[in-house]
Amino acid sequence: MAAQKQQSSLMFFMVLMFSMFVLFDPNLRSATGNAVGAVFFPLFGFGYRFPVLTIFLAGSVVIIISTLIRHFTTDWIEMAKNQEIMSKFQKEYRKARLENNKYMIKKLEKLQPKIMQRQTAASSKQMKTMPITMLIFIPVFTWIWDFLMGVNHYYFDVPWAIHVSLFDKSVLFANWILLYMLMSIPLTQVIQYLLKFITWSERKAKTDG
């Protein structure tokens, strides 16, 4: 377990370093962006006319691929079991604390390391997919960045503000990055829900059959 965790951490660190090189080296960023743009610009470029739509569609490709990878590498049944065990443990622990049941508290505290080990193992499995998703995300992210450099009209409207610049910073990130996040979160949830629904339906059908 420890060796696998070290391998995952090393892989993640290597991918992170590669990502930093791509993002901050102009030549490498340009080469990566051009490679992705050869495919994405004809599909999603729209002649630089609809940058918000371009961000959404290009980002959707990353979201769909990364969600599929995460879905097919995650044991959702095992995850549901872990969540149920953790929920039951917390409920019993709170009850024991309220009743000042020292025997039950001690018993539950002995069980806690095993439960935490299950949670850690599940989290470690999910971490293994992060380097893969980052390798997909960074090139597309780089192309979007370079694409926006060629856009003439870089303002968009939201319900709470008019003519917001894609390049102005809000908090820590440029507005176009926040826009990407705003669109990606609900899309990720919808795709993940649909995939889970299909998976559970298929398993239920096999069980009933």
Q: Which residue has the higher pLDDT, 6 or 129?
A: 129
Q: Is residue 50 part of a domain?
A: yes
Q: Stretch 168-194: mean pLDDT, rounded?
A: 85
Cβ atoms of 67 and 191 closer than 8 Å: yes
Asked if residue 44 has pLDDT above 90, the reply is yes
Its domain, for residue 112, covers 75-127
d(CA 51, CA 141): 14
53 and 79 fall within a common domain: no
Q: Is residue 120 over pLDDT 70? A: yes
Residue at a domain's end among 106, 127, 148: 127
Q: 136 and 105 in one domain?
A: no
Which is higher by pLDDT, 58 or 172? 58
Rounded average pLDDT over 160-167: 84
Instruction: Label residue 2 by pLDDT band (50, 70, 90).
Output: very low
Per-residue pLDDT at 6: 57
Residue 32 sits in the same domain as residue 2: yes
Q: Write down the pLDDT at residue 209.
A: 59
More confident residue, 129 or 2: 129
pLDDT at 208: 65
> Do residues 117 and 24 both lie within one domain?
no
Q: What is the pLDDT of residue 114?
A: 85
Instruction: Say if residue 45's pLDDT is above 60.
Output: yes
| 63 lies in some domain | yes
Domain total in the chain: 2
Please, which residues bridge with residue 105 across strands? none
Euclidean distance between the first and the last CA atom of the chain, given in angstroms as a whole number: 37
What burial letters (b/e) apply to 91-121, b meaning 16+ CB within 10 Å? Answer: ebbeebeeeeeeeebeebeeeeeebeeeeee
- Tell me, yes or no, whether 13 lies in a domain: yes
Please say if the pLDDT value at position 121 is more than 80: no
- CA distance readout (Å), 38 to 2, 31, 146: 42, 11, 13
pLDDT of 63 over the 80 cut:
yes
Cβ contacts of residue 125 below 8 Å, gap of 6+? 73, 74, 75
Query: With contact defined as beta carbons under 8 Å apart, do 107 and 93 qualify?
Result: no
Q: Which residue has the higher pLDDT, 160 or 34?
A: 34
Mean pLDDT of 60-85: 84
